[in-house]
Amino acid sequence: MIKKTRIINKLEVEDLDKAVELKVITKCPTKWILIDEETGQVYRGSENKEVGKMWKLITKQN
């Protein structure tokens, strides 16, 4: 059974059974922005190399 997740723009995307790792390799991490289209949260890359702290929340949906 394919699970779907509804995102902000009203589209549905496939929700996988297993997590997928996404990587950005860069010399300038703070120029990168990550947007969670399900929650509307926006993150900026940081210089922190600790897992879970590589992205800093800069805006969140109320």
Sign for the pseudo-dihedral over CA of 11, 36, 38, 23: positive
pLDDT the model gives residue 6: 72
pLDDT over threshold 90, residue 15: no
Secondary structure E strands in 7-54? 12-15, 33-35, 42-45
pLDDT in tens, 17-60: 899 999 999 999 999 999 998 888 999 999 999 999 999 999 87
Could you tell me the pTM of the whole model?
A: 0.76
Q: What pLDDT band is residue 2 in, cutting at 50, 70 and 90?
A: low
